[in-house]
């Protein structure tokens, strides 16, 4: 009931805003110049507390840093405002956070950070016509049927296929197993594609599953051990991954671990014995230890501001804000344009020949489905650092 | 060998359930109420130990003692503030209050410690894993010590309720509250003592559980709490050996269904077994038959 009311309220608010914008008659000026001073309100949603807090906080900080940079670089031009809401990696809370942001006058959304909440928010944003660019929600359901939602990260199918191809190429002689969370879209989505791609060549993978309530992974690990699995693919978030690595070490099982973007952040978990993650391979478009000048500068600024090394999600959010900023210049809209007008204009730009360059890729392009086209990288954890392979 | 490995995992998980189930069963035995906040006391105990060890640099074993003390006091306070005023008002009011206390503890932990998962450092970090039968059989120190702790606690508790004066008083209160009072037994004190023991054991269970399964969050105690409650009912709620038997069987069923049937169905199978047992023996495996209520 409460939720429906909120949704209704948000819808009314959105309609009112649309009407007001219409009255002003300045909704879509064709001056082609967005330099007029004004503030564009960008909302961010993600888990800044909860089991996936590391991702949410990284996005919050990365986005904030980009906004600050843009504002300082051109104080007379278009200014951005960064509004953040916590969703604790919970779909219902995420929709509430979205409604709150709409109430507060958000014009463009960066979020949500994680797939399941983002799927719920994407449906709302589609109804309300909010342009959304998610830094990291990689599930296909996020963009499916939603023309207004775009991903800056690889989609799950892409991650699954890229991982399978990499393993086939570089670890041809290994026996591969998967442990995944079958109660989670993200995890089972990657697993589906990985399995079909990997087994395409006639090879078999050993599989075991768990759910959010699972604490004991020894049964799954023993299954892997008995099957002789020596490369364990973990398309899961870092908390269960840390649990799995700890319990594997307890039973004296030491396969090579291969993770995807959810594994990013494992080194920063409170109390985690980083030596357990030595030799872990993971698919990530960003490594803070890169020699690239832009990345070096970003890492330095981030460390100065937040006292920790940025993970991939921070870079994703940073790129999101810059991509939105660049694309917005191309729409020719004023900073006070309505959320709906912005949405339509931004969709046009993103599905056009717009390319964005950033920390996570040189030239990112988007297709009409909202998926990004960029090249994944594989890193290995050595001495507590990511080393590019 | 994988059967033996699973059996050991099952015994270890079952021992955790058994220790938690003791708290449920003792409290039910003496005050006929289901203390649903019990699972969350486990979480509090684990947090206290984790924070003292990882952020205050304290020895893990000393932090365990402090965690036990904290939970004991917490158990007494909860009983005094939330349950005692409702004694005699009917079981539904107390049951709802217990659920309320459970949510209160979870959310207080969320506020106090945040929801970020903490990676618990094992209490038995320095101990070596035992490898037998050419390495195919592995016994982790966590499993071994959990099983041993369970046995020691069970024996100590049985001796306590049968041999000591306080234990006899507890049994008397559980037999007949009113008559015990007439005989000069301080009922309030007996109930407080029960909560104190149950909550202290919960702290031990929390540290043992997080040593074996290291992810600690404010909701960490919720599911094991429910499973342990199931174990207590399984074995016959109110009975100390029942809690042990129930816990161990439940742990073994859970691990075996995960290893050999399906990890998705494991929880469903556990609860299905509970339903079957209750259909055949409504009082649980060891309920009523052995009159050793606490």
**Which residue is closest to B257 within chain A, CA to CA?**
A219
Same domain, A132 and A265: no
| Cα A363 from chain centroid (whole Å) | 18
Task: Answer whether residue A386 is part of any domain.
Answer: no
Running DSSP on this structure, what letter comes out for residue A153?
S
Task: Answer whether residue B210 is part of any domain.
Answer: yes
Chain B interface residues (partner A, CB cutoff 8 A): 2, 5-6, 9, 13, 50, 54, 110, 114-122, 129, 131, 135, 138, 140, 142, 209, 212-215, 217, 220, 223-224, 254-255, 258-259, 263-264, 267
Tokens at residue A3, please? Answer: 């939720």
Residues B142, B153: contact at Cβ < 8 Å?
no
How far away is chain B from the Cα of A225, in angstroms, using its nearest Cα?
10
Tokens at residue A182, please? Answer: 């079958």
Residues A243, B214: contact at Cβ < 8 Å?
yes
Nearest by CB to residue B118, choosing from A222, A223, A271, is A271
CATH number at residue B201: 1.10.3470
Q: A222 in contact with B at a CB cutoff of 8 Å?
A: yes
Count how many domains chain A has.
Answer: 2
The model carries a pTM of 0.75
- Give the best residue of B8, B115, B264 to mutate against chain A (max A CB count within 10 A): B115
How far away is chain A from the Cα of B103, in angstroms, using its nearest Cα?
16
Say what the pLDDT of residue A9 is. Answer: 53
Task: Answer whether residue A308 is part of any domain.
Answer: yes
Distance in angstroms (rounded) separating the CA atoms of residues A334 and A339 = 12
Residues A143, A149: contact at Cβ < 8 Å?
yes
Count how many domains chain B has.
Answer: 1
Distance in angstroms (rounded) separating the CA atoms of residues B16 and B208 = 7
Work out the number of other CB atoms within 10 angstroms of the CB of residue B156. Answer: 10
Q: Which long-range contacts (CB under 8 A, 24 or more apart) does A277-280 make?
A: A277/A245, A277/A381, A277/A384, A278/A381, A278/A382, A278/A383, A278/A384, A279/A380, A279/A381, A279/A382, A280/A245, A280/A380, A280/A381
**Which residue is closest to A55 within chain B, CA to CA?**
B116
Nearest C-alpha neighbor of A155 from the set A186, A200, A198, A179: A186
**Which residue is closest to A272 within chain B, CA to CA?**
B119
Same domain, A271 and A334: no
Nearest by CB to residue A252, choosing from B129, B142, B220, is B129
Nearest by CB to residue A49, choosing from B2, B114, B258, is B114
Helix (H) or strand (E) holding B99: helix B91-113
Task: Answer whether residue A352 is part of any domain.
Answer: yes
Nearest C-alpha neighbor of A163 from the set A187, A136, A135, A137: A187
CATH number at residue A170: 3.40.50.2300
Task: Answer whether residue B291 is part of any domain.
Answer: no
Where b means 16+ CB within 10 Å and e means fewer, B78-90 reads bbeebbbebbeee
Chain A environment of B208 (Cβ under 8 Å): none
Q: List the domain range (segments joined by +) for residue B84.
A: 2-122+140-280
Distance in angstroms (rounded) separating the CA atoms of residues A117 and A44 = 13
Cβ burial, residue A332 (10 Å; 0-12/13-18/19+): middle
**Cβ A49–B115 below 8 Å, yes or no?**
yes
Q: Mind listing the pLDDT tens digit of every residue in chain A (389 residues)?
A: 454 555 555 555 554 444 444 343 333 333 334 445 689 999 999 998 777 788 899 999 999 999 999 999 988 889 999 999 999 889 999 999 999 999 999 999 998 999 889 999 999 999 999 999 999 998 888 998 899 999 999 888 888 998 999 999 899 899 999 999 988 888 998 999 999 999 987 889 999 999 887 888 988 898 899 899 999 999 998 889 999 999 898 888 999 999 998 888 788 788 888 888 999 998 888 888 888 899 999 999 999 999 888 988 999 999 999 999 999 999 989 888 999 999 999 999 999 989 999 998 888 999 988 999 887 788 899 888 888 87
Task: Answer whether residue A382 is part of any domain.
Answer: no
Q: Dihedral, CA atoms, A367, A84, A271, A286, nearest 10 degrees? A: 30
Phi, psi (deg, nearest 5) at residue B139? -120, 115
| Residue-level length of chain B | 294
Which residue, chain included where needed, has tokens 């956070």?
A97
Reported ipTM exceeds the 0.95 cut: no
Chain A environment of B47 (Cβ under 8 Å): none
Distance in angstroms (rounded) separating the CA atoms of residues A122 and A91 = 11
Phi, psi (deg, nearest 5) at residue A322? -65, -40
Q: List the domain range (segments joined by +) for residue A124.
A: 2-154+294-373
Task: Answer whether residue A314 is part of any domain.
Answer: yes
């Amino acid at each position: 009931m409460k939720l429906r009311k909120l949704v209704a309220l948000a819808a009314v608010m959105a309609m009112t805003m649309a009407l007001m914008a219409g009255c002003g008659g300045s909704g879509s000026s064709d001056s082609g110049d967005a330099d007029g001073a004004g503030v564009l309100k960008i909302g961010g949603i993600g888990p800044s507390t909860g089991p996936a807090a590391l991702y949410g906080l990284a996005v919050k900080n990365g986005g904030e840093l980009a906004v600050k940079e843009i504002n300082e670089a051109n104080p007379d031009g278009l200014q951005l405002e960064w509004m953040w809401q916590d969703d604790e990696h919970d779909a219902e809370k995420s929709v509430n956070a979205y409604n709150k942001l709409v109430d507060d006058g958000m014009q463009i959304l960066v979020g949500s950070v994680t797939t399941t909440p983002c799927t719920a928010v994407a449906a709302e944003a589609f109804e309300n016509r909010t342009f959304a660019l998610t830094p990291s929600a990689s599930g296909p359901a996020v963009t499916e049927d939603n023309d207004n939602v775009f991903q800056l990260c690889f989609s799950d199918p892409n991650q699954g296929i890229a991982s399978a191809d990499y393993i086939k190429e570089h670890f041809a002689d290994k026996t591969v197993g998967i442990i995944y969370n079958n109660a989670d879209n993200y995890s089972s989505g990657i697993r589906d594609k990985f399995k079909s791609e990997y087994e395409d060549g006639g090879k078999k993978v050993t599989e075991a599953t768990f759910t959010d309530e699972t604490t004991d992974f020894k049964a799954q690990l023993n299954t892997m051990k008995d099957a002789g699995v020596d490369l364990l693919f973990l398309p899961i978030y870092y908390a269960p991954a840390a649990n799995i690595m700890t319990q594997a070490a307890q039973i004296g099982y030491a396969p090579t671990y291969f993770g995807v973007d959810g594994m990013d952040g494992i080194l920063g978990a409170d109390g985690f014995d980083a030596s357990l993650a030595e030799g872990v391979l993971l698919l990530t478009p960003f490594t803070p230890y890169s020699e690239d000048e832009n990345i070096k500068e970003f890492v330095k600024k981030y460390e100065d501001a937040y006292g920790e090394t940025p993970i991939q999600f921070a870079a994703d959010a940073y790129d999101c804000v810059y991509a939105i900023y660049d694309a917005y210049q191309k729409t020719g809209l004023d900073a006070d344009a309505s959320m709906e007008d912005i949405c339509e204009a931004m969709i046009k730009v993103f599905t056009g020949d717009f390319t964005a360059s950033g920390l996570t890729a040189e030239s990112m392009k988007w297709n009409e489905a909202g998926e990004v086209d960029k090249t994944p990288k594989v890193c290995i954890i050595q001495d507590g650092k990511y080393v590019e392979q | 060998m994988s059967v033996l490995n699973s059996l050991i995992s099952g015994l270890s998980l079952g021992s955790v359930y058994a220790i938690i189930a003791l708290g449920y069963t003792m409290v039910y035995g003496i005050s006929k109420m289901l203390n649903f906040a019990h699972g969350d006391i486990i979480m509090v105990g684990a947090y206290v130990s984790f924070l003292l060890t990882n952020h205050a640099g304290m020895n893990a074993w000393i932090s365990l003692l402090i965690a036990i003390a904290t939970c004991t006091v917490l158990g007494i306070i909860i009983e005094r503030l939330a349950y005692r005023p409702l004694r005699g008002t009917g079981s539904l009011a107390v049951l709802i209050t217990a659920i309320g206390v459970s949510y209160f503890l979870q959310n207080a932990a969320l506020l106090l410690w945040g929801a970020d998962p903490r990676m618990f450092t094992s209490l038995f970090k320095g101990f070596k894993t035992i490898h037998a039968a050419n390495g195919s059989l592995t016994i982790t120190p966590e499993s071994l010590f959990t099983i041993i702790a369970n046995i020691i606690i069970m024996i100590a508790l049985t001796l306590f309720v049968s041999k000591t004066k306080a234990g006899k008083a507890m049994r008397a209160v559980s037999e007949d509250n009113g008559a015990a009072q007439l005989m000069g037994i301080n009922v309030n004190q007996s109930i407080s003592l029960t909560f104190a023991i149950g909550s202290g054991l919960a702290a031990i269970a929390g540290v043992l559980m997080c040593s074996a399964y290291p992810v600690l969050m404010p909701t960490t105690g919720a599911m094991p709490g429910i499973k342990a409650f199931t174990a207590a009912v399984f074995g016959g709620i109110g009975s100390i050996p029942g809690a042990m038997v129930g816990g161990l069987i439940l742990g073994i069923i859970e691990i075996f269904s995960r290893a050999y049937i399906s990890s998705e169905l494991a929880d469903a199978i556990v609860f299905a077994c509970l339903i079957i047992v209750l259909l055949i023996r409504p009082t649980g495996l060891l309920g009523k038959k052995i009159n050793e209520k606490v």
